């Protein structure tokens, strides 16, 4: 049930085909005093080898609605269980730009505001209007919770690492035209032969993004172990300017300005330059860094969650030793933690 193909069994699994089914399943488990894990595509989850002692509610609700807004923009309403890349493809096919840079990201739509999913210069916070939530504390559905109340930040929100609210439905505002969002990511602009900050047809941007992601093993392929991952395992660290590494071996270190006079560094660069190259293997070769992207920790087919976390800790500690920078996991760790 996870893209890593790791983790032990759950006590019980309930398939929820509608938002109402999700609410009913979570409410029933709460009434029974059971632990609950709400699971979509399992693309950003690391589950303990011991499994999950409780009920897993698999969100399978579907439905996409597109409606015009008075200002010429478009309101996109999506049920939480919709496959995210299918949603992006649908908008592009309908001649709507805005989400194309988020192409190829695995998982379900309900998870996108939880993680504030982002890639190639665009993140969910740029377009999110509001969400519908099931509040487990009040046992009620809260409709149209504004994006401003979700504490959206770099790969996080107030919903992440909490289990008292379940996303049922998500709404986005798209500009209404067929052009892409401005090309903020230099690698993508180069791939499209365009100027940074420019726009291209959303369909062209989507194909370029998918090509770049495939080259890094970031598009799921059951036959390719380089894609048996949770995507980027570590977030790019954001540090005070005084904490940016300096001295020999730091020449060419990528860095970008971040809010409150801070600096964002490249986790991939730090990992690579701490001595962990592509394909670096963990215990017994059962897990390894992807052969195409050092940020992805992969299951080579016979790995365990313990193997994966051991490799993650090795990389984390190596970066601290070399650069004094602490890397933090991006996926949600269920019943486990880095040693």
Q: Rounded to whole angstroms, what are the CA distances from 224 to 23, 218, 227, 292, 298? A: 36, 10, 6, 11, 10
State whether the Cα torsion 265-48-163-121 is positive or negative. positive
CA 114, CA 90: separation in Å to the nearest integer?
A: 22
* Angle, vertex CA 297, rays to CA 252 and CA 336, nearest 5: 120
H/E run at residue 56 = strand 52-59
Please provide the size of the chain in residues.
Answer: 339
- With 0-12 CB in 10 A as exposed, 13-18 as middle and 19+ as buried, what is 243? middle
Main-chain dihedrals φ then ψ at residue 11, nearest 5 degrees: -65, -40
Residue with tokens 């109340």: 149
Q: Which residue is catalytic, options 61, 157, 229, 232?
A: 232
CA 206, CA 96: separation in Å to the nearest integer?
A: 12
Q: Which residue is catalytic, options 82, 100, 123, 330?
A: 330
CA 301, CA 287: separation in Å to the nearest integer?
A: 8
Main-chain dihedrals φ then ψ at residue 111, nearest 5 degrees: -85, -15
Task: Judge whether 136 and 166 are in contact, CB under 8 Å.
Answer: yes
**Which letter does DSSP use for residue 101 in this model?**
G
Q: Alpha helices of the chain — where are they, by DSSP H?
A: 19-31, 84-93, 112-115, 186-192, 202-215, 267-273, 305-323
CA 210, CA 338: separation in Å to the nearest integer?
A: 31
Q: Is 330 a catalytic residue?
A: yes
Q: Is 286 a catalytic residue?
A: no
Q: Which residue is catalytic, options 155, 262, 278, 322?
A: 155
Take residue 109 and report the two structure tokens written for it: 């739509």
Q: Is 199 a catalytic residue?
A: no
List CB contacts of 93: < 8 A, sequence separation 6 or more: none
Catalytic residues: 155, 232, 330
């Amino acid at each position: 049930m996870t893209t890593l193909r790791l983790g032990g069994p759950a006590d019980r699994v309930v398939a929820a085909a509608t938002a109402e089914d999700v609410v009913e399943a979570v409410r029933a488990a709460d009434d029974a005093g059971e632990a609950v894990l709400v699971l979509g595509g399992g693309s950003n989850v690391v589950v303990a080898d011991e499994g999950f002692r409780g009920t897993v509610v698999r969100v399978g609700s579907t439905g996409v609605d597109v409606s015009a807004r008075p200002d010429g923009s478009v309101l996109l309403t999506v049920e939480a269980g919709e496959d995210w890349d299918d949603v992006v493809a649908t908008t592009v096919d309908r001649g709507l730009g805005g989400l194309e840079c988020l192409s190829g990201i695995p998982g379900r739509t309900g998870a996108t505001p939880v993680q504030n999913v982002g890639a190639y210069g665009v993140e969910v916070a740029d377009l999110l209007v509001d969400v519908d939530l099931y509040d487990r504390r009040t046992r009620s559905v809260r409709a149209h919770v504004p994006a401003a109340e979700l504490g959206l930040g770099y790969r996080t929100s107030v919903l992440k690492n909490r289990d008292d609210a379940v996303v049922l439905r998500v709404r986005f505002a798209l500009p209404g035209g067929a052009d892409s969002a401005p090309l903020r990511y230099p690698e993508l602009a180069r791939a499209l032969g365009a100027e940074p900050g420019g726009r291209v047809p959303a369909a062209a941007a989507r194909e370029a993004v998918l090509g770049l992601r495939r080259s890094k093993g970031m598009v799921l392929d059951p036959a390719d172990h380089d894609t048996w991952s949770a995507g980027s395992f570590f977030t790019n660290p954001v540090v005070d300017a005084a904490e940016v590494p300096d001295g020999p071996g730091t020449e060419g270190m990528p860095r970008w300005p971040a809010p409150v006079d801070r600096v964002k560094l490249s986790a991939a660069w730090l990992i690579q330059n701490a001595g962990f190259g592509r394909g670096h293997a963990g215990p017994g070769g059962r897990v390894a860094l992807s052969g195409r992207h050092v940020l992805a920790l992969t299951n080579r087919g016979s790995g365990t969650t313990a193997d994966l976390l051991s490799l993650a800790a090795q990389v984390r500690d190596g970066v601290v030793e070399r650069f004094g920078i602490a890397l933090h996991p991006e996926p949600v760790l269920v019943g486990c933690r880095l040693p």
